[in-house]
Amino acid sequence: MAEFTMELNDEQKEVRDWLHGFAADVIRPAAAEWDEREETPWPVIQEAAKVGIYSLDFYAQQYFDPTGLGIPMAMEELFWGDAGIALSIVGTGLAAVGVLANGTEEQIGTWIPQMYGDPNDVKVAAFCSSEPDAGSDVAAMRTRAVYDEAKDEWVLNGTKTWATNGGIANVHVVVAVVDAELGSKGHASFIIPPNTPGLSQGQKFKKHGIRASHTAEVILDNVRVPGSCLLGGKEKLDARLARAREKAKKGGERVKNAAMATFEASRPAVGAMAVGTARAAYEVALEYAQTREQFGRPIIDNQGVAFQLADMRTSIDAARLLVWRASWMAINGRPFTAAEGSMSKLFASETAKKVTAQAIQILGGNGYTREYPVERMHRDSAIYTIFEGTSEIQRLVIARTLAGMPIR
């Protein structure tokens, strides 16, 4: 087990500086354009692929960093550049992780390369879980997958929503209900190969923030996929469902939801994204306060401004500490006895909203215009308190954990 430390080693510092350079030189200069266009920034993704950032190998190296700090460090730097473009770069990772976590070696080797493509022909992937009536309440999912034994095919029907890269992805990973009586334990994940009949893009959402990231509905109308597209295979699914049914008979409904446990472990990465956005806004505000003069002196000389900056920096550093602690705990198998994953995501996301709002206030009228980036950063920050579980859900998870109650 790696000891917890706040000091990055030389290799981590090298990676951090490399990512920061890419964020500063490639992502940030393109941010305003792609925010206005509200389109996937394919040229930026291609540049990320050329240098090795947009690849499974890169994220695998960061994920398996024994200190746990690889992923939060990478997320902070990329999202410091711009949240919308960064999400377009890392969004495929959601689907890739789903396959890595649940797929067979053959499925991993077959589908993950198709998710990324290559630097000359980049592709993206989509992870489709949320539905119009099933966001935080995953047990309310309605998308169904029915097995056609005669043809060894699964037939999927339903509507997914809020899918990053939904409809434009080369490969979709879809979560569907296979046994409705088991609630969330009766779910399974499926690969939908490119150009599969019956899958179409529904509404593309015009969003308040993260506009460079494509978000849309995915419609599944009698989508047929081979049995080999069930992640993990049918034998493994049947065994898992049998165990779930047996536990249900014995009161197993109080066993902690595995999906919720997975979310708990992944939430620090979202917290790191929020830290990156908050840090970016703070740095703009700090520089502005040092150079903007009113009444013959820089506005940072005014206690009202200086105290705001002090609070902003304190909150950012505290958020990073919570994110790093939870990330270290997750990679080292330490139990989240106080929902430390949710704590980190809750505090960091709320910090991003508050800090970006304070940055606008410090810049005054300039902060309210699109001539300065803090206006965009404030719009982007709103998503952190919503996706991967709203702030209200984080508080519920923390409260239930502290009370020793099951997380459903």
Residues catalogued as catalytic: 388
Output 135-141 pairs: Cβ under 8 A, ≥24 positions apart: 135/162, 136/389, 136/390, 136/393, 138/184, 138/187, 138/257, 138/259, 138/260, 139/183, 139/184, 139/408, 141/175, 141/176, 141/177, 141/184, 141/187
**Angstrom distance (rounded) from CA 163 to CA 170:** 13
Other C-beta atoms lying within 10 Å of the C-beta of residue 26: 18
Token code pair at residue 259: 């999906």
- CA angle 103/52/24 to nearest 5° reads 125
Strands 171-177 vs 125-128: parallel, antiparallel or unpaired: parallel
**Angstrom distance (rounded) from CA 258 to CA 317:** 31
Strands 215-226 vs 187-192: parallel, antiparallel or unpaired: unpaired
Other C-beta atoms lying within 10 Å of the C-beta of residue 392: 12
Q: Find the helix packing angle between 83-90 and 92-102, rounded to 10°.
A: 30
Structure-token match 């506005």, residue found: 299
Structure-token match 């198709």, residue found: 114
* Bridge partners for 20 per DSSP: none
Token code pair at residue 129: 């879980």
**Angstrom distance (rounded) from CA 408 to CA 401:** 11
